Amino acid sequence: MEIKINQSGLSALTRKLSNFPRNFEKAHDDLLDETGLDLVKTTKEHASGRPGPNIVTGQYASAFYTVRHKWSVEIRNDSPQSKRLEHGYYGTDSLGRVYHQPPFPHIAPARAEVMVRYRENLRELPGKVWRET
């Protein structure tokens, strides 16, 4: 009595498993790039009037950009008023001017919204990559 075992499925599975890490990393890189674009867009929306800061020239909102790291993306704005607008400022500056500027959060709320979308997409990513591998 002879028993034969077909291993063609096993070699396909082995190939799929060996390609998965590289394909997942590429898909995650793409997701981070999309998330960065979403973060800038959403932050600009939040920075365009109340409850965020009022736009006078649009120069502040157009100064947002992202910095991409290996496993994350960060939003920045190098404008001098950025921290004051986000967190507020109460006190006297170096020129002796007194400020009672309330915070107009726009970066933190945008980041919170985008993180929800990123986490949902990240949760679905392994299955999506597995099906496409």
Counting residues of the chain whose pLDDT is more than 90, the rounded percentage is 65
Answer yes or no: is pLDDT of 80 > 70.
Answer: yes
Domain residue spans in the chain? 26-132
Answer yes or no: is pLDDT of 85 > 80.
Answer: yes
The pTM score is 0.80
The model's pLDDT over 96-117, given as tens digits with 9 standing for 90+, comes to: 999 899 999 999 999 999 999 9
Answer yes or no: is pLDDT of 123 > 70.
Answer: yes
pLDDT given at position 75: 95
Confidence of residue 56 (pLDDT cuts 50, 70, 90): low
Answer yes or no: is pLDDT of 5 > 80.
Answer: no
CA distance 107 to 88: 13
- Distances from the Cα of 102 to the Cαs of 53, 110, 123, in angstroms? 10, 18, 37
Q: What are the E-state strand segments in the chain? A: 65-68, 73-76, 89-92, 98-101
